């Protein structure tokens, strides 16, 4: 129950913001700076995330879930991935589905990924986010868009 309350507090923080308006704004959301990449990797493994996800540049056991949906995390992206986005993906995976064919990633209209809102502590969530953030890199703009 205590873990659930902590995660609900984080979810509520996602809704507070000064720049964006509305209850669901992620403006102002910040995780504590105590996230640890190595603990995050260990937590990722302990919760079995590797059974469905591949993490770019990390040597993990191959996904085993059937039917196979190898959702790749990390790699080059066009813009930074917000911590709030990753937190939401972990505690409310059906909120925004990954860009894969829906029949591969859903069951009964919801994400096949279980919610971890009542299964992990805030520190574990913070560590997983630190681990995943360490695997993303923003791809540089083509030179024609570089301004001096």
- Farthest CA pair distance, the chain: 54
107 belongs to a structural domain: yes
Rg for the chain, CA atoms, rounded: 16
pLDDT at residue number 90: 94
CATH number at residue 41: 1.10.760
pLDDT tens readout for residues 65-87:
887 777 889 999 999 999 999 99
Q: Is the pLDDT of residue 98 over 60?
A: yes
117 belongs to a structural domain: yes
Q: Is the pLDDT of residue 21 over 70?
A: no
10 belongs to a structural domain: no
25 belongs to a structural domain: no
Q: What is the mean pLDDT of the chain?
A: 82
Most confident of 11-25, 40-54, 66-80: 40-54
pLDDT at residue number 96: 84
1 belongs to a structural domain: no
Long-range CB pairs of 65-74 (<8 Å, 24+ gap) are: 65/112, 67/104, 69/100, 69/104, 69/105, 69/112, 71/98, 71/100, 71/105, 73/132, 73/135, 74/132, 74/135, 74/136
The values of phi and psi at residue 86, to 5°, are: -65, -40
Confidence category of residue 148, pLDDT binned at 50, 70, 90: low
Rounded CA-CA distance 31/33 in Å is: 6
pLDDT at residue number 13: 46
- Segment 125-136 shows an average pLDDT of 97
pLDDT at residue number 18: 42
13 belongs to a structural domain: no
Residue pair 95/88 in contact by the 8 Å Cβ criterion? yes
**DSSP structure string for 24-86:** T--TT----TT--HHHHHHHHHHTTGGGTEEETT---PPP--SS---EEE-EEESSPPPHHHH
pLDDT at residue number 16: 42
144 belongs to a structural domain: no
Please tell me the total count of domains within the chain.
1
15 belongs to a structural domain: no
Among 12-26, 44-58, 86-100, the minimum mean pLDDT is found in 12-26
- Segment 87-94 shows an average pLDDT of 92
Q: Is the pLDDT of residue 45 over 80?
A: yes
What is the residue range of 48's domain? 37-135
């Amino acid at each position: 129950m205590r873990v659930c309350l902590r995660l609900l507090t984080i979810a509520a923080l996602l809704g507070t913001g000064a720049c964006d308006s509305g209850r669901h704004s992620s403006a102002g959301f910040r995780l504590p700076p105590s996230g640890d990449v190595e603990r995050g990797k260990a937590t990722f493994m302990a919760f079995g995330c590797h059974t469905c996800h591949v993490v770019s540049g990390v040597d993990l056991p191959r996904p085993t879930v059937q039917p196979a949906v190898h959702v790749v995390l990390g790699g080059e992206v066009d813009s930074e991935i917000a911590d709030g986005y990753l937190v939401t993906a972990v505690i409310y995976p059906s909120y925004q589905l990954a860009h894969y064919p829906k029949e591969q990633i859903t069951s009964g209209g919801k994400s096949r990924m279980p919610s971890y809102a009542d299964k992990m502590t805030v520190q574990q969530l913070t560590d997983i986010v630190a681990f995943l953030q360490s695997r993303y890199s923003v791809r540089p703009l083509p030179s024609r868009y570089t301004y001096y």
